[in-house]
Structures are given as structure tokens and as C-alpha cells.
């Protein structure tokens, strides 16, 4: 977490810059208000708008040259996004003694949204592990025939996977399939679900993997558990590992519920 500055006002000398760092998975505009004293004893409001040009959760930096004077107050909020959408936002002063972004003293650092404004003074900088996640239900395209299911955590975020649901249809080939899921980083397994039920050829079954649920199944629908409170880093995977997978088998109707967190590396 960046260093915070004591409560102001802050004096800038005309060579300093306001640095805005954001990490976003949503579109919109950051609206920033500054109370600035350029003429001694006269505090005037100023407004800056930063459009969210990147929505891949990568760290983006935008700079604004500041005139000589004193900053008394900064506030920021997110406009043009959904009521529950939030971005990771940092606002600070770059003193220009090193490369841009590397000597910035961040005054604001935290999650910002339409209904979650950030202030300086007033909003203590937060560590990213304190940030609440964003609840999402995601879908993806059907897997090709004969290919195991694969779900990848996007870059610049981490996930707690709450549930996974899909349909698995088998070909007419006579073989007994067993469904397993593996949670792994592409090299080492962190967890594998138990091999608890079989599925024969020419059948269709819906599988549900849910946190905190005990094993249960019927002829058409299967329920099993996945790890509780397991946070998966960027590019980690949830893959199926079907025993006796046939070239004509297919995964369809794939959806999963996740809690998504911003990651600053």
C-alpha cells in the first residue's frame, strides 16, 4: 500500500504533478474535485475528469501538471458505471524527483464507485487485502467436442469461486465417465474434487459444484462441493479431468459465480 500523507494542506511548487492511478474492469469516468489555493487566502474549486480507457484491470497512470499553490481537499467518485461497480483508485502528488509514478505520495488509495466516494482528508488509504470483492455470475462458450472444461482467472484480478454449473453430454461410446474438477496454477494441484459418481454413454447430466454443499445427486443433476474461501490468483485454472473422456463428449451451458478482487502486483 502506498505511503499516505499527513492531513494538509499540501504545498506544490509548480513542477509537481497530480498522479491518478486506476485499475478497472468497468467503464466510466473518474470525477475528481480539488480545492486549490493559488492566490493566498482564496480557495477555488477545480474539477478533473479521467475516462477509464482500459478495462482489463491493469494499472493505468494519468498525470496533470499543478500550478504553484496549496491543495486543501481532494474528492473522487466514479460516474457512468453501475451502482455496484467499483475501481481501485489512487490519487497522489508526484514530486518529479524520480521517474513518473515512482515517487508519488498517494493521498487516496482504495475502492471508488458511484456510491463510494473517496476523500482527502477523510479516507484513510486501504490495503488491497481489505477490499471487498465484487460478486459476478459469468458464462463462457461451450467447450469443443472431446475437450475438458477449462476456466481461467483473468490477469490483474483474483477470484474466490463460489459455484460452477454446466451440462455434460456423452457420446454413444460405451464407457463409464467420472467427473472431477482440479483447482491448480497450471503446474501444481491445490485441490481436486472427489470421484463420486459415474455417467454412461448417450446421457446428459447437469453438474453443480457449490461451496459448503455436501454430496448429492439424482439421475439428471449432480451436486458436489468446492473449497471454501479459496482465493485463486491471476491465470490459475479450474479444469475438469474426466475419466474416460470420449471425442464426442461435450460441456455446454457453462456458468460460474465468483467474488472478484483487484490485484496490484
pLDDT over threshold 50, residue 114: yes
User: So what CATH class is 134-262?
Assistant: mainly beta
pTM above 0.75, yes or no: yes
pLDDT in tens, 28-62: 999 999 999 999 999 999 999 999 988 999 999 99
Contacts 24+ apart (CB under 8 A), 104-107: 104/2, 104/19, 104/21, 105/2, 105/3, 105/4, 105/5, 106/2, 106/3, 106/4, 106/5, 106/19, 106/21, 107/4, 107/5, 107/10, 107/74
One of 3.30.200, 2.60.60, 1.10.730, 2.60.40 is the CATH number of 10-127, namely: 2.60.60
The answer to whether 10-127 and 134-262 have equal CATH topology is no
Q: Is residue 5 over pLDDT 80?
A: no
pLDDT of residue 3: 44
Query: Higher model confidence: residue 241 or residue 265?
Result: 241
What local confidence, expressed as pLDDT, does residue 212 receive?
A: 76
Q: Residue ranges of the domains in the chain?
A: 10-127, 134-262
pLDDT in tens, 165-188: 999 999 999 999 999 999 999 999
Report the pLDDT value the prediction gives residue 102, as an integer from 0 to 100.
45
What is the reported pLDDT for 115?
83
Amino acid at each position: 500500500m502506498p505511503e499516505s500523507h499527513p492531513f494538509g494542506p499540501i504545498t506544490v511548487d509548480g513542477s509537481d504533478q497530480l498522479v491518478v492511478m486506476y485499475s478497472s474492469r468497468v467503464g466510466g469516468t473518474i470525477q475528481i474535485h480539488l480545492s486549490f489555493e493559488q492566490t493566498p487566502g482564496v480557495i477555488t474549486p477545480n474539477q478533473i475528469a479521467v475516462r477509464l480507457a482500459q478495462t482489463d484491470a491493469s494499472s493505468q497512470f494519468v498525470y496533470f501538471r499543478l500550478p504553484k499553490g496549496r491543495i486543501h481537499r481532494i474528492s473522487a467518485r466514479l460516474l457512468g458505471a453501475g451502482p455496484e461497480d467499483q475501481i481501485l483508485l489512487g490519487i497522489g502528488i508526484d514530486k518529479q524527483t524520480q521517474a513518473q509514478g515512482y515517487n508519488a505520495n498517494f493521498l487516496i488509495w482504495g475502492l471508488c464507485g458511484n456510491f463510494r466516494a473517496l476523500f482527502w482528508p477523510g479516507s484513510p488509504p486501504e490495503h488491497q487485502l481489505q477490499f471487498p470483492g465484487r460478486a459476478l455470475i459469468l458464462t463462457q462458450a461451450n467447450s469443443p467436442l472431446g475437450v475438458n472444461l477449462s476456466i481461467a482467472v483473468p490477469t490483474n484480478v483474483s477470484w474466490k469461486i463460489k459455484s460452477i454449473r454446466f451440462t455434460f453430454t456423452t457420446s454413444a461410446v460405451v464407457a463409464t465417465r467420472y467427473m472431477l474438477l482440479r483447482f491448480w496454477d497450471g503446474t501444481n494441484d491445490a485441490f481436486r474434487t472427489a470421484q463420486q459418481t459415474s455417467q454412461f454413454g448417450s446421457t446428459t447430466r447437469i453438474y453443480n459444484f457449490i461451496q459448503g454443499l455436501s454430496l448429492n445427486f439424482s439421475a439428471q443433476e449432480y451436486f458436489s462441493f468446492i473449497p471454501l474461501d479459496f482465493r485463486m490468483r491471476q491465470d490459475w485454472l479450474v479444469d475438469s479431468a474426466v475419466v474416460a473422456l470420449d471425442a464426442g463428449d461435450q460441456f455446454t451451458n457453462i456458468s460460474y459465480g465468483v467474488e472478484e478482487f483487484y490485484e496490484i502486483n
